Chain A
Amino acid sequence: MPRIEPVEPVSYDRQTDEWLAARCVEAADEEAFAEIVRRYRGPVYRLAVSVLGQAFVADAEDVAQDVLVRLHHALPSFRGNARFGTWVYRITLNQALNAKARARYRVPHVGDQALHAMRSPGVGPDERLRDEQRRQAILAGVSELPEVYQAALRLHYWLGTSVRDIADMLDVPENTVKSYLHRARRLLQGILTERGFDAR
């Protein structure tokens, strides 16, 4: 971890993550940690949402909080071998996967809000029902894919995250993310066809 130089006044938003981490550890600087929280709350939350999925989205904020609190306690052990962001996302992935494993013991709650979020103006009730059934089949199919494909699909299609940012979060090259998305779509098409939904 790089040593911090005594520079005053400190402008936190221009400092590197590593500098902020060192400042938290060496000077117990709460403002430096607040800047880390500001920088990472969004990506950490999105990554947690992408792992937990629509069924357990209500748990994502708790997971994001736990990750950042755990990060605060673990800052002294950050050695700078990996990028700070990579380290944060690794903690997030582990925490979210654990939370998902625990949440599976509860009844999944795909809320009414989610069911009504798909608006189909100008179509009849039969068609709307068919659309909704297909949508539910797609969401169920996604949740059967390998975890990393699920996360990539939800980040890309639901949360509108760019391929570059997904690559950052999952710590893989951009081409690997594209390949995840392609393979996930192919697997999903197979699942839908198997269940009698016309995926064409």
Chain B
Amino acid sequence: MHDDEMMDGLLRRAMASEAPALSPGFDAAVLRRARPRRLSRLGRIVMVTYSLAAATATAWLTRGLEPVVVGAGLTIGLSMLVVGSAYARQLVSRE
């Protein structure tokens, strides 16, 4: 018991430095990072333009192909899109 009390005193002295504290901007930083990110107006215009152009180009390039081949291509392409966007979201949330 005596040794335990002595170690208790030693630890109190050894760890008697000032406890660290959070910076004043902590809450704001957390709320900013947690807020869902939305595209700006320009970003939305770019995305819509790109999607329309890509859809038009795809329709033009696959116009002579069998429907089965087009279907398979769309399935693979959409699966990759879903996986890619999920991965991108995960990266953004980790940031």
List residues of A whose CB falls within 8 A of some B CB.
30, 33-34, 37-38, 41-42, 45, 49, 54, 57, 60-61, 64-65, 68-70, 72-73, 114, 117-118, 134-135, 138-139, 153-154, 157-160, 182, 185-186, 188-189, 199-200
Contact = CB atoms under 8 A, between A and B. Distances in A.
Interface in B6-25: 6-8, 10-20, 22-23
18 contacts: A30-B35, A33-B31, A34-B31, A49-B20, A65-B29, A65-B30, A72-B34, A73-B34, A118-B14, A157-B12, A158-B15, A182-B4, A185-B4, A185-B8, A186-B3, A199-B7, A199-B10, A200-B3
Contact of A160 (B19, B22, B34): B19
A88 B10 CA distance: 32
B30 A69 contact: yes
A85 B57 CA distance: 53
Contact of B15 (A60, A65, A154, A199): A154
B31 A37 contact: yes
Could you tell me the dominant secondary structure of chain A's interface residues? Answer: helix
Contacts of B30: 37, 41, 65, 68-69
Contacts of A188: 7, 11
B93 interface: yes
Contacts of A199: 3, 6-7, 10
Nearest to A138: B14
